[in-house]
Structure 1
Amino acid sequence: MDLFVINRYDESKTEGNSKSREEKILEKLQRRIEEKKKQKQLDQSINKNDSIKIESMDIEPVKSDEMVKKKKKKNKVKKEQLEVEFKKEPVDTETNEKTEELEEMSYTILGGQKFVEPQPIEMILPYWLANPEIISSDLSIKGTEVAELKYICETLQKNLKNMKIKNLFPVQEKIMPNILNAHKKPIPFRPKDICVSAVTGSGKTLSYSVPIVQYIVDNKTESRVTALIMLPVFELATQVASVFDKLCNNLKVRCLLLTKHRDFAAEQKALIEKTIDGEFSSKVDIIISTGGRLVEHLFYTEGFNLKSLKFLVIDEADHAMSQVHNDWYHHLLQHLGIINELQSNRLSYRDLMSLVNDDGSYRLPQKLLFSATLSQDPEKMSTFNLFQPKLFTTADNKEDLIKYQERKQEEDQRGQFIGKYTTPAELKEFFTITEYKLKPITLYALIKKHNWSRFLCFTNTVETSHRLSFILQTLFGKDLVIEELSSLLPLKIRQKVLHRFSNGDVNGLICSDALARGIDVAKIDCVISYDVPKHLKIYIHRIGRTARAGHEGTSVTLIAPDQINFFDKLIKTANKKSVQEMKPEREIEELNALNFANAQKKLRKALEVETNERSKVKSKSGGFSLFEKLQKQVKPAETIEMVPESWKHENIHETPTNGKIMKKEMKNLSKKKLKRNKGKQADKSKEVLN
C-alpha cells in the first residue's frame, strides 16, 4: 500500500510540473507579442518624425492613418487568398487576431492544405536536337549529276553510273560533302559527329558509303581498318555489303562482311595476315558487321586492330539504342583504350592530344548515326557520347517548315524536332476495318481487287506468318506465288526466297518485322500490315518498304473494330492526316467463302503432319515431301496445287546448325588462347631465371 501511495504522489507531481511548463511557454509567447507591439509603436513614431521633417521641406507628409489603412487592406487580401486556397469559411475576429500574431512570429499553421496535381513538364531538348538542318523529303526533285561532283574520283563516278545512279537525292547532296570536309582539318581539330533522321528510301546508305570510299582512296598508304559499319540484322548487313562491293570496283579498297552465318576461321584469314617478322597486318579497309560477331573478333582474333578507325557508322541507330543487352560499343571503347569517353569531349588541348596515336590519328572515330525514326530522347542519345553533334532531318510538307521557322525565332520553345516520323510524299496510306476471323479472306479480296502482283505482308508473330502463307497460297493456287520469310526457315532458304522475290519469281512475301529494317527491294506495289503494329516506329519502317527512291507506293493496315482507337492514337502521334479508309470487297469474300473454309481444313491437317514430322526425325532422311504426304491424306478434289518453301519436307527437317558450329569454334579458340598465354608465361619465367 505504501508503494502505491508513493507512485500516485509522483504522478501528481509530474502532472503539476507539466502544467507549469505549458504556462511558462504561454508567458514567453505573450512577452514576444508585447515586444513586437512596442516595436510597431516605435516605428510609427519614427514615421511621424519623418513626416515632420518632410513638412519643413514643403512636401506633403504621408499620414500614419493612411499607412495603417493600407496595411489593413493587405491583410484582408491575404485572408481572402488563404480562404480561397484552403477553402475555409471566414473565422471569428478573435481567431484572426491570433493567426495574425502567429504569422508575425513566423509560425506555420498546420492542417487545411490543398494538394494540387503537378502540371506535366514540357520537354526541353538540347540545342542541336531542337535546331536541326532541314532537308527536303521530295525525292522527285533531281539534284546535281554524278558527273559534276568534283569531290569524287572518276572511277567512283563510273561505279555509281553502273549502279544506275545519275542524280543525287537531297539527303546525299547535303551529307556527302559535309563528311569529307570534316576530315580536312588538322589535329587537334576533331570532326563533329553527325545524326541523320531521313525518310525511308531517301538514299541514306550511299550518303555515308560514297564519302568513306573516297576518303580511303585519297588517304590510303597501307591497308588499315578505316571504317566500321554496324548493322542490327544479317539481311541488312548483306545489303550494305553489296553496295560497298559495287562502289569499290576497280579501286584499291577492300571491304569484308562479318556475320555469325559464316565460318569464323575463314573470316579470320580474310581479316588479317601474319608477316615474316611475326607482326600482323590488316587485309581490309572497311568492315560491315553485326554486334555479336564484332565482339567475338575483338576477343578471339589475334592481331585484330581498330585503333586507326576514322568512321563509325551506326545504321538503324534507334534499334541499337534500344538493345540494352548488345554491349558491342563498350567492348569497342575498351579495345581503343578509352576508359572514360566523357573526358574526350572536353576541349582542352591536353585531353585532345592524349587521344592521338603514334601515327597521328585519333583513337576516337567520327560517329555517323542514321535512322528513319531517330530517337529524340537525350538519355538514349547519350549512350554514344556524341561530340558536338549536328542533326540533319527531313520535313514532310511546307506547314512543318513554317512551324519550324516560327519556333526557331522563339528560343525558349524547344519541343520535338521536325522529321522524326516523316514518310515519302509518293506514299498513299489506307486502313481497312474487318473482323479477326475474316482477316485472311479480306486480305485475299483486296489483293485480288487491286491486282497487287508484288507485295509485302507483315505480321507480329512468326506463327501467324507461317499459317497465313499456307492459306494465301491455297487460295491463289497458280495465279500468284506466295512465300514466307521468317526465322523458322534456315539461312540458305531465306536467301533463296529473298533472291526470288527481288527477281520477280515470287509475288508476295509474308514476313515478320525483322525484314522491315532497311531492306531495299525495288518497285513494291503495296505493303500490308496484317497485324496492327505495336509501336509507331514499327509502322514507319513497315510502310517505308514501298514508295522508295521517288516511286509511288501504297500501304494498307487491317484493323479489327476494337483496335480503331489504338490505331487513331498511333497516327495522331505522327501528325498524319492523310490516312484514308479502304473498304473491304465483300462480294469477292462471299464468292470465295467456301474456298476459304477448305483452306482452313487443309491448314489443320498440314499442321498435324508438320508437328508429327518434326517430332519423329531430326535428320534429313525420308524421300517424300510434305506436299506429297498431304496429297495422300486429302481427297483428290481438295489437293493443294502449290505449297510455300517453309512447308516442304526437307525444309522442316533442315534446321540452322551455325549456332552449334560456332560454340565448338569458340571453345577451340578459347583453348588455343589459353595455351598461348601459358606459353608466354613460361617464356617470361625462363627469361627471369636466366
Structure 2
Amino acid sequence: MEKKPKEENNKKKNVPALPWMRNPIDITDIDQCPISCVPFLDPRLGGALQNMRFTSLFPVQVAVWQETIGPGSFGRDLCINSPTGSGKTLAYALPIVQALSTRAVKCLRALVVLPTRDLALQVKEVFEALAPAVGLSVGLAVGQSSIADEISLLINKPKLEAGICYDPQDLSQDFGSSVDILVATPGRLMDHISNTNGFTLEHLCYLVVDETDRLLREAYQSWLPTVLQLTRPCSDTNFPLCENLTSLGFGSLKTIRRFGVERGFNGKSCPRLVKLVLSATLTQDPSKLAQLDLHHPLLLTTGQNRYQLPELLRSFKVMCESKLKPLYLVSLLQGLREEKSIVFTSSVESTHRLCTLLKFFGDLQIVFKEYSRLQHQSERSKTLTAFRTGKVQVLVSSDAMTRGMDVEGVRNVINYDMPTYIKTYIHRAGRTARAGQTGQCFTLLHKDEVKRFKKILQKADQDSCPVHSIPSESIEALRPMYTSALEKLRRRVEAETHGKRKRKNKLSTVSGHNRKAD
C-alpha cells in the first residue's frame, strides 16, 4: 500500500473536525475603525473609549462588533481565536455594555468567567471604564476578600423591621442583584451559586468564557454544566434539569427554583443565553467544545493557523552554557537597560530560586521582583502595581502571568526555561508586542534544546529565529559575583528546607497529641 506524502498528512491533521470551524471569518481582512465611525455606538461609550485613550477599534473588536451590535445582532454564539494583545477583552466588553444599556433592569445579565484572580481583576477594570457611562454596575467574585464582603457588594438585601417574623421563603424573593455584570473565577462563582441567598442566573443574557481552553481543561467544580443548567428554561424538555442539578449537589426542586431556572422578566421570556468564548489558542477538540452547547457558532480567527504570534513581535534565541545560565540572563538584562521585562521560568520553585539567586548578585542596578502562586494574593497585587508603575523593571514569574495579563509597556519577554509547548510560548510571548506595539522575546537555550525549540516555533509558522549574542567578556566579568551568590543560595536553601522540616514535625506532634486526647 502506497504511503501518502507527509505534507498531505500534516494538512489533514490541521483541518478542524467541526464543520463550522472550517469556514471562519478572517480578522486579518478587517481594518481598524476610528471611534467616530463605529456604527450604532452609544455616544456615552464613545466618550468612555476616548477617556481610555482609544482612537480606533482594532480588527478583532470591529469583527465582534459587526456580529453583535452590527448586522449579526448577537444572532450566533461567537468563538474568537486571536493572538494575545489583539484586544479581545474590549472586543466583548464594549458590545455587552452597549446591549445591556438599552434595558433599564437592575439584575445580573452578563457573566464573565476567567481562570485566575489577577486576570479577573484586569477584566473588571475594562468593564468599569465603560459601564458607569451608561448607568451599569460591575461586580467581582474571585475570593480575594471574604465571601461576606462580596455578598454585601453583589446582593441587595431586604430591609427588615424589628419585631416582625418573616417567612424565609418570602424573604428570598426580595433579594436583588446590585450589579448588572459579574466578573468571576469558577470556584467563587460556585460558592455564590450554592450558598448566597438572592444570587440568581435567571436573567442572564450573556456568558463570556475567557481563556476557554484552560477553563475547559480543568473541571473547576463542574461550574460550566451548572451554569448552563441554571440558565436553561424549564420548558426545555431536552435536558433533565432537576435530575442533573440534584446530582451536582443542589438538592430539591424547591431549592433549584430558588436559584432561578424560571428565566424571564415579569412573566416575559428571557432571550436565549448568548455565549462568547475566547482564547489565543482556542481548542479544536469537538468533545471539549461540545461542553459549551453553542448555538450556531461562528469562528472569528486570524489566518488559517490556530497558533498565531503577535504581528510586531521579534523572537531571538540566546545560546548559553547550562551551568552559567544565570550569568547569561543577568548580562541580557543589563543590555536591555531599564526596559520593562518579564522573565519566565518553568515552575514556582524555579522562580523563587532564581529570584533569590539574583538578590545575592549584589547591586545589579536592576529592580526585580518575584511573582508566583507561592505568594499571597495581596503581595502579588502590590508587585503587579509596582511593575505597572515602573517602580519594578523586571518581573521573574512562573506561568501565572502567561494567560491574558496586560501590563502596558512590557518591551521584552525572556524565557529563562524553554517552554515545552507552543501554547505556552504564545501566551508568554504575548505579554509584549500588544495593541500594535513592538516587542521582543528571548529564549535561553543550550545546544541540546535547539532542535526541539525549532519544532515548537514551526507550529506557529515561524521558521527563522536569529541568535542574540551575549559578549563573552560580560559573562567573565560576572563570574566572581556568581560564585559568591551560588554559595549564599546554597545556605539559604538549606535554611528554608530545615525550616519546612521543623514546621512539618511540629504539625505532626500536635496532630499526635490531638489523636491521643480523642
Assess same fold via TM > 0.5.
yes
- CA–CA distance in 2 between the matches of 1:572 and 1:322? 24
1:472 equivalenced with 2:358 (yes/no):
yes
Indicate if the aligned counterparts of 2:40 and 2:70 stay in contact, CA closer than 8 A.
no
Indicate if the aligned counterparts of 1:177 and 1:211 stay in contact, CA closer than 8 A.
no
- CA–CA distance in 2 between the matches of 1:182 and 1:329? 29
Give deviations 1:617-646, integer Å, cap 9, x for gaps: 89xxxxxxxxxxxxxxxxxxxxxxxxxxxx
Among 172, 175, 180, the alignment partner of 2:61 is 172
Q: Which stretch shows the higher mean deviation, 546-555 or 448-457? A: 448-457
- CA–CA distance in 2 between the matches of 1:394 and 1:370? 13
1:307 equivalenced with 2:193 (yes/no):
no
1:260 equivalenced with 2:143 (yes/no):
yes
- CA–CA distance in 2 between the matches of 1:375 and 1:149? 31
Indicate if the aligned counterparts of 1:455 and 1:507 stay in contact, CA closer than 8 A.
yes
Q: Which amino acid aligns with 1:323?
A: E
- CA–CA distance in 1 between the matches of 2:26 and 2:135? 35
Superposition RMSD on alpha carbons, in Å? 2.7
Q: Which residue of 2 aligns with 1:248?
A: 131
1:201 equivalenced with 2:93 (yes/no):
no
- CA–CA distance in 1 between the matches of 2:310 and 2:229? 40
- CA–CA distance in 2 between the matches of 1:546 and 1:320? 23
Shift of 1:578: 3.2
Indicate if the aligned counterparts of 1:456 and 1:528 stay in contact, CA closer than 8 A.
yes
Shift of 1:131: 0.8
Shift of 1:246: 1.2
Shift of 1:147: 2.7
Give deviations 1:47-77, integer Å, cap 9, x for gaps: xxxxxxxxxxxxxxxxxxxxxxxxxxxxxxx
SS in 1 for 2:33: coil
- CA–CA distance in 2 between the matches of 1:230 and 1:539? 23
Following superposition of structure 1 onto structure 2, how do residues 119-518 of structure 1 map, counting pairs within 5 Å? 122-123=12-13, 125-136=17-28, 143-181=32-70, 191-220=75-104, 222-275=105-158, 278=171, 279-337=174-232, 343=238, 357=264, 359-362=267-270, 364-395=272-303, 418-451=304-337, 453-475=339-361, 477=363, 479-518=365-404
Residue segments in structure 1 that go unaligned for 5+ positions in a row: 1-84, 86-118, 185-189, 345-353, 396-417, 619-690
Give deviations 1:351-372, integer Å, cap 9, x for gaps: xxx9974643447411101111
Shift of 1:612: 4.7
SS in 2 for 1:592: helix
Q: Which amino acid aligns with 1:196?
A: I
Indicate if the aligned counterparts of 2:190 and 2:221 stay in contact, CA closer than 8 A.
no
- CA–CA distance in 2 between the matches of 1:289 and 1:383? 19
Give deviations 1:175-223, integer Å, cap 9, x for gaps: 1232124785xxxxx8310011111111111111011111111122x20
Q: Which amino acid aligns with 1:318?
A: D
- CA–CA distance in 1 between the matches of 2:262 and 2:28? 37
Give deviations 1:637-677, integer Å, cap 9, x for gaps: xxxxxxxxxxxxxxxxxxxxxxxxxxxxxxxxxxxxxxxxx
Between structure 1 and structure 2, the one with the greater Rg is: 1
- CA–CA distance in 1 between the matches of 2:446 and 2:280? 28
- CA–CA distance in 2 between the matches of 1:337 and 1:304? 16
- CA–CA distance in 1 between the matches of 2:226 and 2:327? 50
Q: Which residue of 2 aligns with 1:80?
A: none
SS in 1 for 2:457: helix
- TM-score (structure 1 length as normaliser): 0.63
Q: Which amino acid aligns with 1:274?
A: K
- CA–CA distance in 1 between the matches of 2:38 and 2:49? 12
Shift of 1:342: 10
Indicate if the aligned counterparts of 2:39 and 2:70 stay in contact, CA closer than 8 A.
no
Indicate if the aligned counterparts of 1:136 and 1:394 stay in contact, CA closer than 8 A.
yes
Residue segments in structure 2 that go unaligned for 5+ positions in a row: 2-7, 160-169, 240-260, 505-518
Give deviations 1:136-171, integer Å, cap 9, x for gaps: 299xx6x22213334222221111111111111111
Following superposition of structure 1 onto structure 2, how do residues 52-91 of structure 1 map, counting pairs within 5 Å? none
Q: Which amino acid aligns with 1:453?
A: E
- CA–CA distance in 1 between the matches of 2:283 and 2:39? 34
SS in 2 for 1:483: strand
C-alpha distance 386-342 of structure 1, shift in aligned 2 (>3 A): farther
- CA–CA distance in 1 between the matches of 2:191 and 2:480? 54
Identity, % of aligned positions: 34
- CA–CA distance in 2 between the matches of 1:159 and 1:521? 20
SS in 2 for 1:583: coil
SS in 2 for 1:534: coil
Indicate if the aligned counterparts of 1:355 and 1:364 stay in contact, CA closer than 8 A.
no
Give deviations 1:538-557, integer Å, cap 9, x for gaps: 11000000001111100011
C-alpha distance 419-307 of structure 1, shift in aligned 2 (>3 A): farther
Q: Which has the higher helix share?
A: 1
Give deviations 1:496-550, integer Å, cap 9, x for gaps: 1110000000010111111110010111121001111121101100000000111
- CA–CA distance in 2 between the matches of 1:495 and 1:517? 16
- CA–CA distance in 2 between the matches of 1:182 and 1:530? 47
Shift of 1:572: 1.8
Q: Which amino acid aligns with 1:280?
A: F
SS in 2 for 1:246: helix
1:558 equivalenced with 2:453 (yes/no):
no
